[in-house]
Structures are given as C-alpha cells and as structure tokens.
Amino acid sequence: MEIILLKDVDKVGDKFQTITVKNGFGLNYLIPQKLAVVANSSNKKRLAEMVRREEAHAEKMLDEYQELADKLQHIVLKIGAKAGTSGKIFGSVTNVQIAQALKDQEGIEVERRKISLDEEVKQIGTYAADLNLHKSIDAKINFEVIQE
C-alpha cells in the first residue's frame, strides 16, 4: 500500500514522504492515527500544496528559531542524576531529560526528537547537545549533570 506520511514517524519515514507499507500497518495504524493518507491521485495533488504551505510557515518561523538558537547558546542547564562515589551516574542522561529540563528551567519547549547527543552521558560533568531547530539552523545547548 502506498501512503503519504503527514507526520514524522520513527523508523518509518519523514513528513510528506511517499512510502510503501504493508496493508495492515497502513489501514490499522497509520491512517486511523492521522499519521498518513492513502497516496491516490487527489492526495498526491494536495501534497504539493501542503508542502508549499509548510515551507512558507517554516520561513516565517526562521527568525524565531534564530533568536532561540542565540538564546540557547548562553544557557547552561542543570540536570540532576543519582551517582555513585566515583561520579558515575546510574543509567544515563537522554534527550528526554534534556527537553524536560529545558522546559522546567527556561520555559522553552523543544521536541525531544530535535535534540541529539554526541556521546552517551554516564558521568557527572559538563556536556553539549545539538538541537536541530530548522533545516538551516542548528544550535548547541550546554548542560551540566550534577549529583542529586
């Protein structure tokens, strides 16, 4: 079954991508969850209009994303973690915890999928994460893992 994705779906595809999936997955999950539509001729014609509108909206948001990127460069988030005496934390710090700390400490909501870590965070210390705010705007955010 050929479908057009309306949202990014992990391990399936990106927004507005036309892909082929198994019938059951498309009919029972993607379409009822409003994640995709059937790729028939009328929906393919609407796809160009949807892409154009989305790009226009993204261009309007470009200035806001740039402001946000500039603001994030000067912020150091503090993330608490339980750690042993040697400074090794139990578990690791993930993009979910960074997104939550950003929301709690600065009031800025960033989708967790837009945050990527260069390395696994398993020690107390200072690290940096990459934020992909827009195709052309990437930001770095510094965070410090402290012992709770």
Domain boundaries, the chain: 2-62, 66-147
The whole-angstrom distance between residue 57's C-alpha and the CA centroid of its chain comes to: 18
What per-residue confidence (pLDDT) applies to 37?
A: 94
Residue in 33, 51, 39 with CA at minimum distance from that of residue 4: 39
What per-residue confidence (pLDDT) applies to 34?
A: 93
pLDDT grade for 19, boundaries at 50, 70 and 90: very high
Report pTM: 0.68
Q: What is the DSSP letter of 30?
A: I
What per-residue confidence (pLDDT) applies to 134?
A: 77
What would the pLDDT profile of 95-132 be if each residue is shown by its tens digit?
899 999 999 988 888 888 889 898 888 989 999 999 88
What would the pLDDT profile of 30-65 be if each residue is shown by its tens digit?
999 999 999 998 998 888 888 888 888 878 888 888
Both tokens of 31, joined, read 């379409």
d(CA 134, CA 58): 8
Give the CB-side neighbour count of residue 148, counting CA atoms within 13 A: 7
Angle at 68 between CA 91 and CA 5, to 5 degrees: 70
Instruction: Please classify residue 14 by burial: count the beta carbons closer than 10 Å to its beta carbon, then call 0-12 exposed, 13-18 middle and 19+ buried.
Output: exposed
Q: What is the mean pLDDT of the chain?
A: 89
What CATH number has the domain spanning 66-147? 3.10.430.100
Pick the CATH number of 2-62 from 3.40.50.1000, 3.40.50.1100, 3.40.5.10, 3.90.550.10: 3.40.5.10
